[in-house]
A = this chain, B = another copy of it.
Amino acid sequence: MKASELASVVGGVLEGEDVELVACGGLEEARKGDLSFCKDPKHVKLVASTKASAVLLPKDWQGDAPCSVIRVEDPNFACMTAAKIFAPPEPVRAPGVHLTAVIDPSVKLGEGVHIGAFTVIEKGSEIGAGAVIEAQVFIGEGCRVGAKTHIYPQVTLREGTVVGAECIIHCGVRLGGDGYGFNNGRREDGSVYIEKIPQLGIVEIGDGVEIGSNTTIDRARIGRTYIGPMTKIDNLVQIGHNVKVKGYSGLIAQSGIAGSTEIGYGCLIWAQAGVSGHIKIADGVQVGPQAGVPQSLDGSVKYVIGAPAESMKEFGGRILLPKMFAKLKAELKELKAKIDAK
């Protein structure tokens, strides 16, 4: 799109060459063909050195730009508008079943569902109205997928999985795998045995849940592994069997929740954190990145960090230990000298 055209879309005024623009980019990473933006005068140097082909600036911006400039009321808002123009078009997933899909005759498809190529849906499953099931998805026996839920390619739902309405399930998500559960020990003759514990339950996902790429959620040993409404889960997260996430929580990338643990409403589990099994995290608690939580958190501390997890104050004190230790050592040395001098 020509810079002049974009300027008129965002209600701005073009100064300089009428360049061709193909994408948005931050001031530092932008390259030829990019439109960048800035509204903060303290970034005047970044603007002066950007490699963007054009930059959105406030009407009263003082300072040079090495490229075309589009002056607008609100550069951030204008950039958002431009980003929508440059964004890859969202693929249309029209109602209909791809002729290669293998769908058991007993499956109930709601009105207007889209089923992509090479998708398999096994007997007794139900897909709600307006749901989009993309290509190469596997939906096992007796699953239920709610209305308007969007399942991206190469997701697997093992038998009995229930997904609510208006969920978004990204590529490679695994719902309903067997939880890790074994009985082991020694037989009377001394030999070792490791026996699989049947995983008889299901996974149930509430409405409005989003689950990131390659995340895994295990079926319950008995009953349900439950992800409550509006929970947002990032990529590569592990959720063990019989975990219960009450709802409205966030679980960031590569975090893990061990079996039978309960996560309250409105919690935030940061990246790479781990929460032990059979414990409870109270409503609204945040678990910091890489933290390890060995026992229940009752909500008296709202943010924990470290492994084992503790309050920011405790963690901060621990981080300072080497400095405090050096100080104490010096004091002791001084005291010794004083005594020896007496």
A38 CB to nearest chain B CB (Å):
14
A265 CB to nearest chain B CB (Å):
9
What secondary structure prevails in chain A residues at the interface with B? loop
Bound CA–CA A183/B321 (angstroms): 37
By a CB distance below 8 angstroms, the chain B residues around A110 are none
Residue of B nearest to A102 (CB): B117
Residue of B nearest to A28 (CB): B262
Q: Which of A171, A208, A252, A266 has the most CB of B within 10 A?
A: A171
Task: Report A56-85 residues with CB < 8 Å from chain B CB.
Answer: 79-80, 83-84
Task: Report A297-322 residues with CB < 8 Å from chain B CB.
Answer: 307-308, 314, 317-319, 321-322
A50 within 8 A of B: no
Interface stretch of the complex, out of A3-11, A12-20, A39-47, A134-142? A134-142
Task: Report A133-164 residues with CB < 8 Å from chain B CB.
Answer: 134-136, 138, 140-142, 152-154, 156, 158-160
Q: Given contacts A156-B171, A194-B248, A248-B194, are A232 and B177 in contact (CB under 8 A)?
A: no
Q: Given contacts A156-B153, A200-B84, are A238 and B254 in contact (CB under 8 A)?
A: yes
A227 within 8 A of B: no
Task: Report A177-227 residues with CB < 8 Å from chain B CB.
Answer: 177-178, 180, 182, 192, 194, 196, 198, 200-202, 208, 210, 212-214, 216, 218, 222-224, 226
Q: Do B142 and A252 touch across chains, with their CB atoms under 8 A apart? A: no
A174 within 8 A of B: yes
Q: Do B118 and A120 touch across chains, with their CB atoms under 8 A apart? A: yes
By a CB distance below 8 angstroms, the chain B residues around A168 are 178, 196
Q: Given contacts A158-B152, A213-B174, are A88 and B202 in contact (CB under 8 A)?
A: yes
By a CB distance below 8 angstroms, the chain B residues around A154 are 136, 138, 154, 156
A2 within 8 A of B: no
Bound CA–CA A152/B331 (angstroms): 63
Q: Given contacts A160-B88, A321-B318, are A236 and B234 in contact (CB under 8 A)?
A: no
Bound CA–CA A224/B83 (angstroms): 11
The digit string for A26-44, where 1 denotes a CB below 8 A from any CB of B, is 1011100010000000000
Q: Given contacts A174-B235, A182-B250, are A322 and B332 in contact (CB under 8 A)?
A: no
Q: Do A174 and B174 touch across chains, with their CB atoms under 8 A apart? A: no
Q: Do A91 and B141 touch across chains, with their CB atoms under 8 A apart? A: yes
Bound CA–CA A212/B136 (angstroms): 20
By a CB distance below 8 angstroms, the chain B residues around A171 are 138, 156, 158, 174, 177
Q: Do A224 and B328 touch across chains, with their CB atoms under 8 A apart? A: no
Q: Which of A102, A177, A339 has the most CB of B within 10 A?
A: A177
A-B pairs, 3 with minimum CB distance: A88-B160, A87-B200, A174-B213
Q: List 27 A-B contacts (CB under 8 A).
A: A24-B201, A26-B223, A29-B226, A80-B222, A88-B141, A88-B202, A91-B140, A118-B118, A152-B156, A156-B172, A168-B178, A170-B177, A171-B174, A172-B214, A174-B214, A178-B210, A180-B252, A192-B230, A192-B248, A213-B216, A236-B256, A256-B272, A317-B322, A321-B322, A324-B329, A335-B339, A339-B339
